[in-house]
Amino acid sequence: MKKLTCNKGFSLVEVMVALIVLVIMVGAFVNFFGWSITSIFADGEKTRAVAEAEKKLEHLHNSMDNYYTDTEYVNDYNDVFIKYPDRVRNFCVEEVTRLNGIVEGYNVTVVVFYHNGERHVSVSSFIEGET
């Protein structure tokens, strides 16, 4: 009988190295995929918040009548960034007047909170007053 001297196949060390490389690659892919999904959802929330802010600005642009009676209105610009428990959106209006006292327009800032109030977006615009 002949003795087989030619070893065809992989050694245990080669198989283990290939398996370790494969596990590292799969782990990196799963980690990246999970991060991508989280990022997509966070961007979706931010987009909805920007749309809400623009919607409020559009409403104010159409009519500045009695804006100070709106429940989302805050008097001071610094308070617009405070998250109140009963609402997710605040806005502040600062009148811009000429020297003769005529209102030239309004600087309006709308802040919308998202991600359970941990994050916010702010949109500002100048709305011309009625002359």
Instruction: Indicate if the pLDDT at residue 105 is higher than 60.
Output: yes
Is the model more confident about 3 or about 56? 56
Average of pLDDT values for 103-110?
87
Is the model more confident about 7 or about 39? 39
Helix (H, G, I), strand (E, B) or coil at 120: strand
CB-based contact 92:60 (threshold 8 Å): no
Instruction: Indicate if the pLDDT at residue 71 is higher than 70.
Output: yes
- Domain range summary for the chain, segments of one domain joined by +: 12-128
CA 121 – CA 57 distance, rounded (Å): 13
CB-based contact 77:92 (threshold 8 Å): yes
Instruction: Look up the pTM and report it.
Output: 0.69
Q: How does pLDDT run across 3-14, given as a tens digit for each residue?
A: 666 667 788 899
**pLDDT attached to residue 41:** 87
Cα distances (Å, whole numbers) of residue 112 to 48, 57, 70, 98, 115: 9, 11, 15, 30, 10
**pLDDT attached to residue 55:** 92
